[in-house]
Structure 1
Amino acid sequence: MRLNPLKSLVVVGLSASVLLLGACGDSKDSASDPSTAAPSASTTPSASATPTAAKIKASDNFDAVTATGAFAKSPKVKVKSPWAIDKTRTKVLSPSDGQVVKAGQTVEVNYYGVDGRTGKKFDESFSTGKAVAFSLDQVVPGFSKGLTGQRKGSRVLIAMPGADGYDSSGGNAEAGINVGDTLIFVVDLVDVQLNAPAGDTVKPKAGLPTVTAAGDKVSIAVPKTDPPTKLVVQPLIKGKGSKVGASDTITFDYRWQQWSDGKLLEQSYGDKPASYQVSGLLPGMQQGLVGQTVGSRVLLVIPPALGYPDGNATPKIAKGETLVMVVDLLFTQAGQ
């Protein structure tokens, strides 16, 4: 049976759900932020009191909505309200030939949100001067549907009915959103998670484990020699993206094995990439990945002192074991 990806690589054994809750935060504006999933009615006392919007005839087009402005600039959005859409729809306002967004990927965006019932803005990120990054698995369904298939560098207009917005949580009273309200977003796709490492190939030093890759299959051949006693950080592909910071959250593929017998411990290849805060990873990973660039493939040889000096129960790792890891850096999100 496949092991839970990366669970044992985290210094503090936090579950993915706990990390997700931490990412959502508890700030006053977080509930209306599209980078957080809609809160449940049970956790939002005012949600049950949110009134249901009067029935509005749903449109199948954007004729009643205009959005103007250049990419990276706050848009001007006008709606002939009250207005509603029949299903989640997307219109490309500024096209791009950038990377295509896939379902469940991590993206970085700027956004401007308007309630179709009132025609009023309820949230936006442009005035903060900082784009917002999140996984499309963590947002309301309409936001994910609207961005999947779009391209990095494009500006898109998304409209979603209440069923794909905040209806499941009883609306959002704090943001003035009623059950049934159509939500309208202008979204600039600033960055998109890579599907694979991309950059310049680097020739590794002699005597290190050999990494072989074919599609989404990556293998590591460990030499039958004594392991190095110090941390080894060997880029195999040097990416051209942003540098990883010590407080960042990174999205990455990985495979790790034992030096002693080459036994596979865990991997994400062929499955979904992992996403964790750098500060929560093993010390050897922190030291080896900070300063590396997105798009890079990095080989790490982690001595016991920077891994599991006393061993580990699951997966079973003996005391004093040296770890060998390949990491593909696909995205980094700067810490708050």
Structure 2
Amino acid sequence: MRRRSLLIAVPAGMATLAACGDDDGSSSAEASDSPSPSASATSGAPAPKIVDGPLPAITAGAKFDEKPTVAKGSGEPSKDLAVKTVIAGSGRTVAENDFIQANYLGQIWSTAKVFDNSYDRKTPLIIQLAQSSIIDSWRYALAGKKTGSRVLFATPPAWGYGSTGNAQAGIKGTDTLVFVVDIQNTFNAKSSADGKTVAQDDTGLPKVGTNTDGKAPSIDIPKSDAPTKLVADYVLEGDGEEVGAQDSVLVQYKGVLWDTGKEFDSTYSRKALTSFSLTQVVKGWSQGLTGKKVGSRVLIVIPPSLGYGDSPPQGSGIKKDSTLVFSVDILAKM
């Protein structure tokens, strides 16, 4: 079983697109070296044959990231997974197990009834293309595509919600589903914050590396007493949205002990990103990240009163009343 981040109590849940199935409770995304999903990674049905059509036409909203209108399906849909890249992007390639940020619309083939879309909510979906995190058709249709792409695909029940359908969304077990997905961004274990470097002038605070190559930044602890109050300073300042106290975020992070500089937890070491709600973590994280911008790297120094105090997690290597030091890259707000 993959080790769970020490900071997470309950992984943030997703709505309509979340697949049913058992998992280990982790909210991490393992690194992928291949842009293609493997057949062995399916949640039940074998890997689909991918075909060009038939697919209904997009009749309005033809631009990338513009809400589309999609015609009703004509005739019988394919029993295979029909996929078409309507707009070919030129950004990074999406791999299975990546987190993607995307706008999307989903409707039923036979009726053109839209059962969900992110355009009206004005909030893109951020979700992992992983078994038990998303219906299988997304994993197969989107892996290998590039950011900036619009992908149209038709999902037979076997690679959607199966024979039980999704009653909440009005989807029957016999329904083929049509999706339009605009892939805005993709994140994996090699992702880094991309903000502007901020001077680290306080010699009494740890100095954090500013590399943006996806490798763990250095954290140099000064030979001085730990601060008694929370520190949350930019190392790299991004230009994205500010994170709210109730938001969920997707991050890279590294945690070390002030007293020894020893690493006790790291997404870099696990080769896995982590997502969580700021309502589900220690107070030092929730207070330290609230108000910070997406795309930033943040130094957080957490005194015991805002960390684990006299009750550190068993087996964590953290002693009682430890001051914790983190470098946190805020990759996305979920």
Same fold by TM-score greater than 0.5: yes
Which residue does the alignment assign to 2:333? 332
Alignment partner of 1:206 is 2:202: yes
Q: How high is the TM-score relative to the length of structure 1?
A: 0.77
Q: Distance in 1 between matches of 2:184 and 2:128?
A: 14
1:61·1:85 contact (CA, 8 Å) conserved in 2?
no
Which residue does the alignment assign to 2:284? 284
Query: Matched residue of 1:79: which SS?
Result: coil
Query: Matched residue of 1:217: which SS?
Result: coil
Which residue does the alignment assign to 2:268? 269
Q: Distance in 2 between matches of 1:120 and 1:193?
A: 32
Residues 181-330 of structure 1 aligned to structure 2 (within 5 Å): 181-193=175-187, 195-207=191-203, 208-212=205-209, 213=211, 215-270=214-269, 271-314=271-314, 315-330=316-331
The 3 A distance-change label for structure 1 pair 3 and 173 is: closer
| CA RMSD, Structure 1 to Structure 2 (Å) | 2.8
Q: Say which of 124, 134, 141 aligns to 1:146.
A: 141
Q: Say which of 35, 52, 71 aligns to 1:61.
A: 52
The 3 A distance-change label for structure 1 pair 146 and 303 is: same
Deviations 1:297-326 (A, max 9, x none): 111111111112224142143332111111
1:101·1:147 contact (CA, 8 Å) conserved in 2?
yes
Q: How high is the TM-score relative to the length of structure 2?
A: 0.77
Q: Distance in 2 between matches of 1:225 and 1:176?
A: 61
Q: Distance in 2 between matches of 1:276 and 1:59?
A: 34
* More displaced stretch, 128-137 vs 157-166: 128-137
Aligned-partner residue type, residue 121 of structure 1: K
Aligned-partner residue type, residue 286 of structure 1: S
Which residue does the alignment assign to 2:100? 107
Q: Distance in 2 between matches of 1:276 and 1:106?
A: 13
Q: Distance in 2 between matches of 1:64 and 1:322?
A: 57
The structure with more helix, counted as a fraction of residues: 1
1:250·1:331 contact (CA, 8 Å) conserved in 2?
yes
Which residue does the alignment assign to 1:157? 152
Aligned-partner residue type, residue 88 of structure 2: P
How far apart are 1:144 and its partner, in Å? 2.2
Aligned-partner residue type, residue 332 of structure 1: K
Q: State the percentage of identical aligned residues.
A: 33
Q: Distance in 2 between matches of 1:250 and 1:325?
A: 16
Aligned-partner residue type, residue 282 of structure 1: V
Q: Distance in 2 between matches of 1:96 and 1:188?
A: 10
Unaligned runs of 5+ in 1: 25-29, 41-57
2:150·2:183 contact (CA, 8 Å) conserved in 1?
yes
Which residue does the alignment assign to 1:55? none
Aligned-partner residue type, residue 205 of structure 1: D
Q: Distance in 2 between matches of 1:78 and 1:328?
A: 43
Query: Matched residue of 1:241: which SS?
Result: coil
How far apart are 1:200 and its partner, in Å? 0.9
2:53·2:78 contact (CA, 8 Å) conserved in 1?
no
2:54·2:77 contact (CA, 8 Å) conserved in 1?
no
Q: Distance in 1 between matches of 2:214 and 2:149?
A: 28
Q: Distance in 2 between matches of 1:129 and 1:236?
A: 29
The 3 A distance-change label for structure 1 pair 140 and 233 is: same
Which residue does the alignment assign to 2:173? 178
1:109·1:187 contact (CA, 8 Å) conserved in 2?
yes
1:74·1:127 contact (CA, 8 Å) conserved in 2?
no
Q: Distance in 2 between matches of 1:209 and 1:313?
A: 24
1:140·1:164 contact (CA, 8 Å) conserved in 2?
yes
Q: Distance in 2 between matches of 1:80 and 1:178?
A: 19
1:106·1:331 contact (CA, 8 Å) conserved in 2?
no
How far apart are 1:331 and its partner, in Å? 0.9
Which residue does the alignment assign to 2:28? none
Higher gyration radius (CA): 1
Unaligned runs of 5+ in 2: 23-48
The 3 A distance-change label for structure 1 pair 59 and 306 is: closer
Deviations 1:215-235 (A, max 9, x none): 423332222221122222221
Number of aligned positions between the proteins = 294
Q: Say which of 8, 15, 19 aligns to 1:37.
A: 19
The 3 A distance-change label for structure 1 pair 146 and 216 is: same
1:82·1:119 contact (CA, 8 Å) conserved in 2?
no
